[in-house]
Structure 1
């Protein structure tokens, strides 16, 4: 009988598969090419290649960051693209009312760089401003707490207090980051489990807990994680122990964002889903194109 794959092997295979999809769809040679032909028009009713999720506290609207632009999504309505940018939004997070930050790649023909660095909007995605590292950095995960911003880029943790100057800290192989609401712990999902830093991302302690693909930490005693098969779990103690809640429809996850202890958003291979009961049940907000 063949040996059963370890959690590390399962994570590595799943992350490799995710990376292949991302690189195939979102690869960049460092320049978007102002003289190249623009991509074909994107249907406002179809989502694909989701990278991030968020809710604007100003109006409760759900935002979906994708390979082809930023969209809004609501149950019973077709997704709607925000503004006229068809950029590939990779790392994405909501930091305040109508205020979001992101990283990624400029759309072909846009004249924007292949690596956008750190960009910010203060009007809910209609206009974006380059804040730093334009043409240099490609943030794949972003989070913030207590006035400090954390990013995962180029295999390293990068930290900033103003989105302009960045301090490079630990290097590690990770898929996602989450900082505690108090700002005293930073988590990174790795093939060995959820690694923990208590010194702002300078060093990490490996966890013996279950492997998670994505994590989100909206309240001190409400940490959520989703594994590579879509199983959602919660931890009341910062990742020391986990309790499985349910399996999100669609299997392999693409993104996870918990707004509070009750409202959770997840994207999988089949759609964007919402839970309003702390992750016990999910309903579909929008399907994803295959």
Structure 2
């Protein structure tokens, strides 16, 4: 597999293990049926696609809907939709954005496009691109610009309102993160390292040879990345420098969200973990059943 920045092939690092790990998620969606999972009945979750916080409540986007832990740490379905949320993010205003596929028997197009919730995932409304796009990564800038990674087409799409979209760079990547201070600066994780755009995703250039699976950037001093082997890194200099912090428990990562400079959420193969000390230690919030990766 080659990585492309604005249509031009980049050189590979030859890291076979890393490339294979990222390739699992770049190929497409999971082929499993959400009905095969038991999540929502008190059992462990699997196939984690995204994490978020609203207030002090944890939200976990999965292959079978959006969940939160109850008082005993067991996953409870939020609302009544069991859609396969492939992409998920909480905006700076507290709204939820998601993408993916409807639950079996739910009707409608095979791709959800962009959907939104203003009540913490209890109800959702269609925003745009239904039947046309399945975003595997979503992020929003401080000015509410929405960035979506259309993994099926290897394309970054950008919208000022979540309704009208511009097609930007051709980009084979796993995750994206938008600068909280500069809405036009975007990082993306590829099999050859972290790449960066400073023109709103129209073009990308290599920023670092550190190969990361997921990145999250919620404040100028809150840039974090997690490698395919589960090691957490802290980024500086706009994503050009990465310093290892500590391994996250549980093996390969499935999702990462930095709530702020000290509070982090990471989903791995055996749990959703939370850190309140910038990644030096973690506590498991939810159990996760081992799956085939987060996307």
Q: TM-score, normalised by structure 2?
A: 0.87
Local SS of the residue matching 1:267: strand
Residues 233-263 of structure 1: per-residue CA shift (max 9 Å, x gap): 0012211111100111111110000010011
> CA offset at residue 24 of structure 1?
2.3
Match of 1:228 in 2: 228
> CA offset at residue 98 of structure 1?
4.9
Higher relative contact order (CA 8 A, sep 6+): 2
For 1:94 and 1:210, the matched residues in 2 are separated by 26
Local SS of the residue matching 2:210: coil
Distance 1:75 1:42, change over 3 A: closer
Q: TM-score, normalised by structure 1?
A: 0.89
Contact 2:37 2:64 in 1 (8 A): no
Match of 1:34 in 2: none
For 1:15 and 1:44, the matched residues in 2 are separated by 31
Gaps of 5+ in 1: 28-37
Q: Which moved more, 1:242-251 or 1:40-49?
A: 40-49
Match of 1:23 in 2: 30
For 1:277 and 1:71, the matched residues in 2 are separated by 25
Residues 145-186 of structure 1: per-residue CA shift (max 9 Å, x gap): 122110000211100011100000000110000000012410
Are positions 1:101 and 2:97 aligned together? yes
> CA offset at residue 134 of structure 1?
0.5
Match of 1:160 in 2: 159
Local SS of the residue matching 1:24: coil
Are positions 1:11 and 2:9 aligned together? no
Select the residue among 49, 52, 57 that pairs with 1:51. 49
Local SS of the residue matching 2:207: coil
Match of 1:30 in 2: none
For 1:40 and 1:267, the matched residues in 2 are separated by 17
For 2:199 and 2:13, the matched residues in 1 are separated by 30
Gaps of 5+ in 2: 1-11, 291-295
Distance 1:20 1:163, change over 3 A: closer
Report how many aligned residue pairs link the two structures: 274
Distance 1:68 1:239, change over 3 A: same
Local SS of the residue matching 1:255: strand
Match of 1:113 in 2: 109
For 1:207 and 1:117, the matched residues in 2 are separated by 30
> CA offset at residue 113 of structure 1?
2.0
For 2:37 and 2:224, the matched residues in 1 are separated by 37
Match of 1:33 in 2: none
For 1:122 and 1:247, the matched residues in 2 are separated by 35
Match of 1:32 in 2: none
Local SS of the residue matching 2:218: strand
Match of 1:181 in 2: 180
Match of 1:210 in 2: 210
Residues 28-82 of structure 1: per-residue CA shift (max 9 Å, x gap): xxxxxxxxxx7787443221110000001xx321100000000013684211110
Match of 2:252 in 1: 252
Select the residue among 77, 83, 100 that pairs with 1:87. 83
For 1:21 and 1:251, the matched residues in 2 are separated by 22
> CA offset at residue 19 of structure 1?
5.3
